[in-house]
Chains A and B, each alone.
Chain A
């Protein structure tokens, strides 16, 4: 399955920038789960738009979640 363009930018950015330590474990766990799902989808490229849609929605939810977490303290 082709990866949707721009998918999960927030989760990746959070992890890559090292900011994850500022966020609760739940976000970190969610980010890793999303990455695992994406890896599975990429490894088995079946036509599964529902997976792409769900991953994109999770990306959007993570973005909303991070906004609600506010500025780093």
Chain B
């Protein structure tokens, strides 16, 4: 097992990576201004002259950020990109997670050729090898996900096992039947598969001897939960992050994985950016570049997208830059903490406090027997703000004991005691089995009286 994807970039110095990315970014900006109507309009409107840009500092000083609203306002329901029909080979909708509208990104042949390369880094760094089988669970629809996963398997030499249309039971069975070495899933779906596997009495060490890597994407997860998953499945947990706007994976955990245990300490692993393919910036709450260890919004500039490049695009996802001075793997590609990625618009105000649903995820989903949950914030008859958790657990779990424990754990995690209602298995639908919907879980609803529209 080599864990190597491309020594050229794995051994490149930070200086050569930055110099290469800078050249490519300047080329991308100039080309976008010439060829992509959105950028022609956007840069003209902002007074930017791309020919005057020389350095990465110039880019950060002068090139305006692009938001989803900018793209949607310009496109007005039409496709984004400067390609005429003869040049278009695919188009991909964004997943709709934000709830504000779906962008339509067109792709040309160069995009198709580049589609799987980023994902191949994630798989090969995870120790997967050509010819091994890899279970795919994220739905294949008109989003990037389906074509991307096929292409990334091809780029890594893996054999895809297409579990898109299978339910959770059948996916667990497919792992065994096809002797899969790897599995790709959202953390929520992996949690559900784990519950299914446990209920069936599956012993991965015996029943799934080929399984060696699980690649997570799409959601945050706690360190303890990731350790539990590694222990149960007997496979190293990894993570990849990408989006429609980045044309596939832009960040991937290195061979050390998402959980690093060394000399008695356990820490989150490191996501490395594929800096020669995508320039990543992290903007803190003051709008400045975050320092190492600081959190902020991810801003991406693609270097390998041609149909519709995204340049200084604000993703609406937040991540923490890694605080360490180097990674144990030795690579100089830029570093971010695994498991810390979350949607900025996920934050909820509860009784005046900022609450991130991921904190509740950790408290609830780390409990044995819990399959999934849904949370809501509402105003009760006495005008008090309440938090209700509807929790699904496997048959056999003691509902009163579980509810009591969950109340205490959530109180400790977010400072608010929720009401807990246990629901029977199968009540909460699994988004990973819905081919048309966004596969990333939106667990929370806010139904405060003050947030509701008044009727005339």
Could you tell me which A residues sit within 8 Å of B by CB distance?
56-57, 59-61, 63-64, 67-71
Contacts and interface: CB of A to CB of B under 8 A. Distances in A.
Contact of A60 (B20, B110, B277, B303): B110
B109 interface: yes
A70 B20 contact: yes
Contacts of B444: none
B9 A64 contact: no
Interface string B113-137: 1100100000000000000000000
Contact of A70 (B12, B110, B117, B304): B12
Given A57-B109, A71-B19, A64 B117 contact: yes
B109 A70 contact: no
Interface of B: 6, 8-9, 12, 16, 19-20, 108-110, 112-114, 117, 276-277, 303-304
Given A68-B117, A71-B16, A63 B8 contact: no
Given A70-B9, A70-B20, A71-B20, A60 B113 contact: yes
Given A67-B276, A67-B304, A68-B6, A61 B20 contact: no
Given A67-B276, A71-B20, A61 B6 contact: no
6 contacts: A56-B109, A59-B109, A60-B109, A68-B6, A68-B9, A69-B8
A69 B117 CA distance: 12
Contacts of A56: 109
Q: Is the interface of A mostly helix, strand, loop or mixed?
A: helix
A55 to B, nearest CB: 10
Nearest to A70: B8
A11 to B, nearest CB: 13
Q: Please name the 7 residue pairs, one residue from A and one from B, whose CB atoms are nearest each other, closest first.
A: A60-B113, A70-B8, A60-B109, A60-B110, A64-B113, A61-B113, A64-B114
A70 B6 CA distance: 10
A23 B404 CA distance: 64
A63 B108 CA distance: 13
Q: Is the interface of B mostly helix, strand, loop or mixed?
A: helix
Nearest to B109: A60
Contact of A63 (B6, B113, B277): B113
B110 A63 contact: yes
Contacts of B117: 64, 68
Contacts of A59: 109
Contacts of A61: 113
B6 A64 contact: no
A61 B108 CA distance: 12
A39 to B, nearest CB: 21
Contacts of B8: 68-70
A64 B304 CA distance: 8
Nearest to B20: A71
A63 B113 CA distance: 9
Contacts of A68: 6, 8-9, 117, 276
Contacts of B19: 71
B110 A64 contact: yes
Contacts of B20: 70-71
A57 B90 CA distance: 13
A70 B16 CA distance: 9
A59 B277 CA distance: 18
B125 to A, nearest CB: 15
Nearest to B7: A70
Nearest to B8: A70
A56 B108 CA distance: 10
A70 B113 contact: no
A57 B16 CA distance: 29
Contacts of B276: 67-68, 70
Nearest to A62: B113
B18 to A, nearest CB: 11
Given A64-B110, A67-B114, 9 more contacts: A57-B109, A59-B109, A60-B110, A60-B113, A67-B276, A68-B8, A70-B9, A70-B16, A70-B20
A56 B6 CA distance: 25
A57, A61, A63, A70: which has the most chain B beta carbons within 10 Å? A70
A67 to B, nearest CB: 6
A57 B9 CA distance: 24
A60 B16 contact: no
Contacts of B110: 60, 63-64
A65 to B, nearest CB: 9
B113 A57 contact: yes
